């Protein structure tokens, strides 16, 4: 019997579907020390973002020769040494499409939150204050949204933002999208100079994209949203720009350390925050589960 280990949980409908198909599903989290020996006992390991599959896990599994497939339920596979696993003959797959709409909606929620101080008004009202004058916001309609990265999530946001009257410009390493794409491709420098809101939608990079230099090219009073990866921002540069007013406010769903320990960020009055919940919707989790079932059935079809 094909054995599947799900270390960070798996949607119950997916666990049931896999069991009905004759797979054995074990849901159990293991810490870094336990994981290498345990993962080696399974044909498939399914993780989300909490479990890290690094070289020791892959070495142990390759030695035992049972593990054939690692699945990341989600998009970013930076918690898996994927190239190394593939070198050792272990396939690595993810579920890239399942959560795009959910992440896009979270970005829209953060933009509304930033524009109308919702993140801050919630905090001050809980403290018994009524600071009506402090919260004169702006409309999103008519503003320019600059998307860095126009992949699955970027495109979803572009359509939503257009629907509420924003102008969308984007930059992407692959250049402009097909001719019928309604949104305007610009260089990164042009995007930085023109956008009122900038949102990040690229995979993690070795060097941050948002730095002292790129911030200096932005409009004064710009808003910044990062739901992609924390490494994309030089957070020290961003904090300095928040304090100087160069950046009005930012929204973050991803952090260098999760759970976040840096209280300069977690207590900052100009940051709208969520604890890495981009894909945390019932619909996305259902789709992630369906994709996992499909990947496993495909891999082990007899």
Ligand X SMILES: NC(=O)c1ccc[n+]([C@@H]2O[C@H](COP(=O)([O-])OP(=O)(O)OC[C@H]3O[C@@H](n4cnc5c(N)ncnc54)[C@H](O)[C@@H]3O)[C@@H](O)[C@H]2O)c1
Residues that bind ligand X (rule: CB under 6 A) add up to a total of: 30
Q: Of residues 3, 176, 276, 290, which has the active-site annotation?
A: 276
The token pair that represents 19 in the structure block: 């069991």
Contact call for residue 279 and ligand X (CB under 6 A):
yes
Q: Is 276 a catalytic residue?
A: yes
**Least distance (Å) from ligand X to the CB of residue 282?**
15
Q: Of residues 24, 258, 264, 283, which has the active-site annotation?
A: 258
Q: How many whole angstroms separate alpha carbon 41 and alpha carbon 64?
A: 8
Fill in the per-residue mask, 198 to 227: x = in contact with ligand X (CB under 6 A), - = not in contact. Answer: ---xxx-x---------------------x
Q: Which is nearer to ligand X, 99 or 248 (CB)?
A: 99
Q: Which is nearer to ligand X, 5 or 148 (CB)?
A: 148
Residue 94 class from Cβ within 10 Å (0-12 exposed, 13-18 middle, 19+ buried)? buried
Q: Is 229 a catalytic residue?
A: yes
Q: How many whole angstroms separate alpha carbon 82 and alpha carbon 106?
A: 28
Q: How many whole angstroms separate alpha carbon 13 and alpha carbon 226?
A: 31
Q: How many whole angstroms separate alpha carbon 72 and alpha carbon 158?
A: 26
Contact call for residue 8 and ligand X (CB under 6 A):
no
Contact call for residue 229 and ligand X (CB under 6 A):
yes
Q: Which is nearer to ligand X, 61 or 254 (CB)?
A: 254
Residues that bind ligand X (CB under 6 A): 74-76, 96, 99-100, 103, 148-154, 171-174, 201-203, 205, 227-229, 253-254, 276, 278-279
- State the catalytic residues: 229, 258, 276
């Amino acid at each position: 019997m094909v054995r599947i280990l799900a270390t960070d949980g798996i949607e119950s409908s997916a666990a049931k579907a896999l069991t009905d198909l004759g797979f054995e599903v074990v849901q159990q989290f293991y810490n870094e020390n336990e994981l290498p020996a345990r993962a080696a006992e399974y044909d498939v390991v399914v993780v989300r973002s909490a479990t890290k599959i690094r070289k020791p896990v892959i070495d142990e599994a390759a030695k035992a020769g049972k593990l054939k497939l690692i699945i990341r339920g989600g998009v970013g596979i930076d918690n898996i040494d994927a190239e190394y696993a593939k070198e050792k003959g272990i396939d690595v797959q993810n579920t890239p499409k399942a959560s795009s709409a959910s992440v896009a909606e979270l970005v829209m929620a953060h933009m509304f939150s930033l524009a109308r101080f919702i993140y801050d008004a919630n905090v001050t009202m809980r403290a018994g204050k009524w600071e009506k004058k402090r919260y004169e916001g702006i409309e999103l309609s008519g503003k320019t949204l600059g998307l860095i990265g126009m992949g699955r999530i970027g495109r979803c946001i572009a359509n939503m933002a257009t629907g509420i009257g924003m102008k969308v410009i984007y930059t992407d390493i692959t250049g402009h999208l097909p001719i019928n794409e309604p949104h305007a491709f610009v260089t990164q420098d042009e995007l930085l100079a023109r956008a009122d809101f900038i949102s990040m939608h690229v995979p993690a990079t070795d060097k941050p994209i948002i730095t002292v230099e790129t911030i200096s090219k932005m409009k004064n009073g710009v808003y910044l949203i990062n739901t992609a990866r924390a490494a994309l921002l030089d957070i020290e540069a961003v904090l300095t720009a928040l304090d100087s007013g160069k950046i009005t406010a930012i929204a973050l769903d991803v952090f260098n350390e999760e759970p976040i320990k840096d209280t300069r960020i977690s207590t900052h009055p100009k940051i709208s925050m969520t604890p890495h919940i981009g894909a945390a919707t019932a619909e996305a989790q259902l789709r992630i589960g369906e994709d996992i079932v499909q990947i496993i059935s495909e891999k082990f079809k007899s």
